[in-house]
Structure 1
């Protein structure tokens, strides 16, 4: 079984992962701060 990690910081995810849609894809992050970072990075494109 492979371990899933945060799309923003590579921290191991647990049952509290947050799903965020970035570029039409759903990714999982560990916290609201990482979700915000990915959203800001997408907005700069």
Structure 2
């Protein structure tokens, strides 16, 4: 292998590897206890 190719491969791996940790952790949820959450609501509000 060419030294330039090897250095390029190592550099690109070092730069792109931290991006592999990015991603969705889970579904979003509203903070607070479940019985205090008022959203989502029906619009318009029932009378």
Q: Is this a same-fold pair by TM over 0.5?
A: no
**Higher helix proportion (structure 1 or 2):** 2
**Higher strand proportion (structure 1 or 2):** 1
**Normalized against structure 1, the TM-score is what?**
0.30
